[in-house]
Structure 1
């Protein structure tokens, strides 16, 4: 008797998805897929949406261009970090290690936590002597001292997750304003009109853009902005605890909270539970980034998916192109805006009519 054939998995695990497979699923040419993924050239909105849907369905990560792979031989790239979110850092390292494991790139990892401007200047000057390119994730992506020193040494630099395009270095980022506006609109669409907001680090433009997107959603919905419903944060769990306590301790607390990252959203859920509130029945909570912090709490967090690992992949691609250029006296800067998406989970529910 023949044994039944095993069922095929819906997702390929043995090899990477190719651009041709994405093109076939979307019904477009590989060139069109390349234009959408790399944000180059004009593509119709309907076509762009089809391509992005195929990218999400197949979990496609763009491979480095063949020309860039050639530049990877014996190349040393530095990743400098001081990010307070361990979940964010893990996602970033996954993306970087995924690339270096299949190329000849040598990865140099440096930890610059607690450096003042002079320490950053000295560290950047020393680093420029031993690497070919540098990746700067937040918050160092907007360190004027480090950037100035590396640019002066003609070392290609790519910032990840900066809130705006820099005139000094290349950037790989999402549209933080639009993303925050979308998640605020989602809560408003669920009937919430009294929404708390926990801000990110004040020295990062991405934090500012997320706050601006939140306010724009309120304005477009005809809702008044209430400064009492806004609390500072710095992307750490501890900051989220403090901010949520202040928001939920008010005489008229918010019915929903938007935290500027998943760590602070997880903290807000913890505070709600401690106060005897049920999420999402009594309080809806949303985060930002879609890191592991969003799915290791109960209930799992509605958030904005920022493709951090894929952004790291793209950042290395941009770096290798810059390293390959023989003329370093003139800089070619790239502003690569990658698509984000709203991930709806169990932490958000419609506002009960009794409110």
Structure 2
């Protein structure tokens, strides 16, 4: 059977080839009636556009890059899922590139990726979002870029984000409402601006409740399981240990849970534990984590949606977070 072509779609739909192309490329300003005719013709003919032909016909490769340096596989999985979904809708290909922001070859590696794949745009996730040399290289190349959760140069590029300060404030306030007054806090990696923002939210909620800030209750983490375990061991060894520990990521909160179980400390009977992100991990640990739902998949989708507009205006989209209460938190036993 002969493979259908764009000319066949044009003939069956009764519209121009240019209109078919605009519909297939998800361009705006196509009437609903025209779009429906083209989509019905595509379905009837089982038409699939040739990626090579699309590339040759225009100035695009129909490929975008997702660059990350994140220790959480759960975060990366959901980010890829969101970006990938939007790319499939637009018939674009997503190329995922892990990197090391501390590598002296970072800028060269990003440049090589762009040159080899002829990328039409880049999505940067934290902490890559705030690497000045990488941003400068993208600006020099005039390649479209969208950043997820940037902390610097906020008006330099389009971006998607949540309010980390308010999210951490919400969780801390919830723990205070349960009756907790000694609340341990595990910060994230220093390379992430979100780490400082979440600490600010924690301190903000304490101050509003009239609870003095105690630096001994704050322990540095790395956004991974191991640092969560180390933080819990240190905090629970204090002469006056906390009755609740709020970790800045679910991975670290899982480490806190593991340490508490190993030390024979009942959760939430003797210790409440809270996380941040609401990744799949939050529901497979025991007890399931009370956490902040960060819509990671939606952030990825929104970032790709902004990028694929290929507009010249800078747009910022804030997505909502949500407090999710599960079995790892309760009122303090004393």
- Which interval holds the TM-score relative to the shorter structure? 0.7 to 0.9
Tell whether the 8 Å contact from 1:65 to 1:317 is kept in structure 2 after alignment: no
The Cα shift of 1:203 comes to 2.0
Tell whether the 8 Å contact from 2:250 to 2:278 is kept in structure 1 after alignment: yes
Give 3-state SS (helix, strand or coil) of 2:28's partner: helix
- Residue 325 (structure 2) pairs with residue 344 (structure 1): yes
Tell whether the 8 Å contact from 1:163 to 1:207 is kept in structure 2 after alignment: no
* CA–CA distance in structure 2, aligned partners of residues 314 and 102 of structure 1: 13
CA 1:65–1:197 in structure 2 vs 1: closer, same or farther (change >3 Å)?
farther
- Residue 110 (structure 2) pairs with residue 124 (structure 1): yes
Aligned twin of 2:66: 79
* CA–CA distance in structure 1, aligned partners of residues 273 and 249 of structure 2: 11
Query: 1:1-355 alignment to 2 at 5 Å?
Result: 66-67=27-28, 74-113=61-100, 115-116=102-103, 118-129=104-115, 130-163=118-151, 166-321=154-309, 323=310, 325=311, 332-352=313-333, 355=334
The Cα shift of 1:332 comes to 2.4
Please, which runs of 5 or more residues in structure 2 have no aligned partner?
Answer: 1-24, 36-53
* Cα distance per residue 1:49-69 (max 9 Å; x no partner): xxxxxxxxxxxxxxx975399
The Cα shift of 1:164 comes to 6.4
* Cα distance per residue 1:29-63 (max 9 Å; x no partner): xxxxxxxxxxxxxxxxxxxxxxxxxxxxxxxxxxx
Give 3-state SS (helix, strand or coil) of 2:97's partner: strand
TM normalised by structure 1 equals 0.75
* Cα distance per residue 1:155-184 (max 9 Å; x no partner): 111111334662322210000000000000
Give 3-state SS (helix, strand or coil) of 1:288's partner: strand
* CA–CA distance in structure 2, aligned partners of residues 188 and 176 of structure 1: 18
* CA–CA distance in structure 1, aligned partners of residues 152 and 264 of structure 2: 40
* CA–CA distance in structure 1, aligned partners of residues 254 and 287 of structure 2: 9
Give 3-state SS (helix, strand or coil) of 2:89's partner: coil
Aligned twin of 1:39: none
* Cα distance per residue 1:178-203 (max 9 Å; x no partner): 00000000000000000000000112
The Cα shift of 1:84 comes to 0.2
* CA–CA distance in structure 1, aligned partners of residues 86 and 29 of structure 2: 12
Tell whether the 8 Å contact from 2:100 to 2:106 is kept in structure 1 after alignment: no
Tell whether the 8 Å contact from 2:122 to 2:144 is kept in structure 1 after alignment: yes
CA 1:165–1:214 in structure 2 vs 1: closer, same or farther (change >3 Å)?
farther
Tell whether the 8 Å contact from 2:86 to 2:305 is kept in structure 1 after alignment: no
The Cα shift of 1:283 comes to 0.3
* CA–CA distance in structure 2, aligned partners of residues 78 and 206 of structure 1: 23
Tell whether the 8 Å contact from 1:165 to 1:335 is kept in structure 2 after alignment: no
